[in-house]
A and B are shown apart, each in its own frame.
Chain A
Amino acid sequence: GIQVEQSPPDLILQEGANSTLRCNFSDSVNNLQWFHQNPWGQLINLFYIPSGTKQNGRLSATTVATERYSLLYISSSQTTDSGVYFCAVGSYIPTFGRGTSLIVHP
């Protein structure tokens, strides 16, 4: 099956900093989503982005399907951004990466 690798596995930031999270995948896909799992365990949809670039407030994402990677940008981070960020990738049932754990300190 498809392999999904996320980096970095852990990230610690001061409030206000910017960051880039990466998702590499091993095969061509037609479905890629980014999720934020908050400290209460809820999975929040961030982007459905099989290709191209999207922006939503302080967050943006870019997927380059031909090169098999996606990037999630977080600008001016806030403490509420803390949690785990997952990408889920696939052409059929999406496969989840292991996530990037983000801690934002005030």
Chain B
Amino acid sequence: NAGVMQNPRHLVRRRGQEARLRCSPMKGHSHVYWYRQLPEEGLKFMVYLQKENIIDESGMPKERFSAEFPKEGPSILRIQQVVRGDSAAYFCASSPGGTGTEQFFGPGTRLTVL
């Protein structure tokens, strides 16, 4: 019973490049959440998605960041024209039901922007 999968685990990008982070939820889970963790801090909510729908993107920066969860395939968090301040660990979580249900986290993607 595979858990939440994220890839890549580590991603290095130069300033101005694009970063694509992928998340496959646990089997049977249709709710996906993305969080960002800066060094020495807790996780900050970015976006909540269900299949083909963005439910809440209140934590997402207005520019350069986007997320999708297509009918088929993993959820994608896309960061365009990365800057050094985007360097962080990005975690994906999934849950079987909606908000208020238990979340399970993937191993994270550590993005480094040179």
Residues of A within 8 A of B (CB): 30-31, 33, 35, 41-43, 45, 48, 86, 88, 90-99
Q: Which residues, 60 to 114 on B, are CB-close (under 8 Å) to A? A: 89, 91, 99-105, 107-108, 110
Q: Is the CB of A33 within 8 A of B100?
A: no
Partner of B102 from A33, A93, A98 at Cβ < 8 Å: A33
Residues of B within 8 A of A (CB): 33, 35, 41-45, 48, 56, 59, 89, 91, 99-105, 107-108, 110
**Chain B residues whose CB sits within 8 angstroms of the CB of A86 once the complex forms:** 42-43
Q: Is the CB of A91 within 8 A of B42?
A: no
CA distance A42 to B6 in the complex (A): 12
Given pairs A45-B102, A92-B99, A93-B56, 7 additional interface contacts (CB within 8 A): A41-B110, A42-B105, A42-B107, A42-B108, A43-B105, A96-B35, A96-B44
Chain B residue at smallest Cβ distance from A30: B100
Q: Is the CB of B100 within 8 A of A98?
A: no
